[in-house]
Amino acid sequence: MNFQRLLKKFPEKFRHEILRRALVVPENPPGRFSVQIAETREDLEAAYRLLHDCYVGIGLMDPHPSGLRCTFFSAMPFTTAIVAKDGDQVVGTVSLIRDSSAGLPSDQEFRAYNDGYREQGERLVEVSALAVRPDYRNQHHVVTFLLVKYLYAYAREYMDASMFCAVVHPRAYDFYAALMGYEKNGEPVPYSSVKGAQALHMTVSAGRDRLERLRYSYPSLERSRNFAAFLDSPEPGFVFPRARRECSLDPVMTPELLRHFFMEKTGLFSKLSAAALAQVRSAYEVHFGAEALDQLGCFPAVSSRAFRYPTKIRAVLLSGKEAVFGTIRDLSGGGCFFVTDGKVPRDGQLEVVFNFREATFRIPADFRWETPAGRNARLEAGVGLEFRINHLGLRRALKELHRAASSRKSGAVHEPIRALESGSIEELVAKKVA
């Protein structure tokens, strides 16, 4: 009888204690493994191929002629594919999918659980598509551990995540629960995206308080014997994006990559519904322009609606001599969602003032709708504002998000957008209400 089968005979609390006591976190040999966002065609293709081969190998999908596993979410900017590399070879991958109007992959079977967390104000990020090359799986799980460590830091610092969710095979429950503090939601069910294999929905807070509780659940606080201490320690082989906390997306797709992966290689776009294709178009139209997307020949002529970028931007809403401070939680060229504890005026001349991409914007706006607490599972309590002008400077700033992300590959430097009106938010408010 192997160790795992023997362990299953013990009560859960005892099993998890044994696993935490037995943990030995492997060292990353200096200069060997690196972990980073998959940005190039080569790294993305290697990640999709590794995922395909691993899933086919364990019976979670049928072989695809392309040898790649790509989904609708792979094409969307809410998804970040991460790769672990040994030298220049991709040996492991995992993806993070930020919650959005497109939802999460786990919504298809576990929407009730996800909606419950959304209604509590959690900002969900789904951990998905974890795969490690077979010849690296038995090396003390070093590649898996490094991927988990990177995704934890990236989701918290760059995606503004407050909670992770994951769909795992029941056999992986003890690993996720004992070592990382995940909690299960309900019982296993057949999961359609992996040929009906049994799957369990699990969640864990991304907050530091949860990490500290996990740290003290281990008998040792040493990094090599404590997974929480390992997660919270520096890792020299990690490559993170340039800090950009105002927008929690790191888009890497280009029209050429969309064509290559989702038309030529996998034919995915030909299988998507018109509504799904409209969502993809909406996500990229501001970056690439309608003409570039029309040339792909697969998208509807008009996108579903203006794409809203998930953001965390300090802002103020002005009405006469009133000033209401809050946060812009999503932003498009046509409006924003403004979260505040203050009372928002419904009538009169409104202006929203905020700093974004090294520029200060002051844009006239109209109140359009309100979301009370708990009304919308994906939105905090706040108000929807529609901008009264087509602000070209803001549209340029939004477009720059994609250029800034892609500049990491080449080292190119883009000139910052000139501030449209000098002065900080506080100075602008002072001028307005004086």
Q: What is the pLDDT of residue 404?
A: 54
Enumerate the domain spans of the chain: 3-231, 255-294, 309-433
3-231, CATH topology level:
Aminopeptidase (3.40.630)
Q: What is the distance in angstroms between the CA of the first residue and the CA of the last residue of the chain?
A: 78
Give the other-Cβ count within 10 Å of 181's Cβ.
Answer: 21
Tokens at residue 338, please? 């403004």
Give Cβ neighbours of residue 144 (< 8 Å, ≥ 6 apart).
Answer: 92, 130, 132, 137
CA distance 172 to 273: 33
Q: Which amino acid is at 173?
A: Y
Q: Identify the bridge partners of residue 227 per DSSP, sorted by sequence position.
A: none
Q: Which of 84, 227, 208, 106 is nearest to 166 (CA)?
A: 106
Q: What is the pLDDT of residue 202?
A: 98
CA distance 358 to 121: 29
Q: What is the pLDDT of residue 384?
A: 93
Q: What is the pLDDT of residue 296?
A: 92
309-433: which CATH architecture? Beta Barrel (2.40)
Residue 147: burial class (beta carbons within 10 Å; 0-12, 13-18, 19+)? buried
Is the four-CA dihedral 44, 48, 50, 51 of positive or negative sign?
positive
Per DSSP, the three-state class of 121 is: coil
pTM of the predicted model as reported, rounded to 2 decimal places: 0.87
CA distance 48 to 398: 28
Give Cβ neighbours of residue 255 (< 8 Å, ≥ 6 apart).
Answer: 284, 288, 292, 293, 295, 296
Give Cβ neighbours of residue 129 (< 8 Å, ≥ 6 apart).
Answer: 51, 69, 81, 93, 94, 95
**Mean pLDDT per 10-residue run, the chain (434 residues)?**
66 90 86 92 98 96 97 96 96 96 95 94 95 89 95 90 96 94 96 96 93 92 93 90 73 94 97 93 88 90 75 92 91 92 85 90 93 64 90 85 53 34 52 44
Half-sphere exposure of 175 (CA within 13 A, CB side): 12
Q: What is the pLDDT of residue 125?
A: 96
**335-339 and 350-356 beta bridge pairing:** unpaired
CA distance 175 to 137: 15
Contact at 8 Å (CB) between 334 and 386? yes
CA distance 194 to 149: 25
Q: What is the pLDDT of residue 409?
A: 42
Contact at 8 Å (CB) between 240 and 158? yes
Contact at 8 Å (CB) between 285 and 303? yes
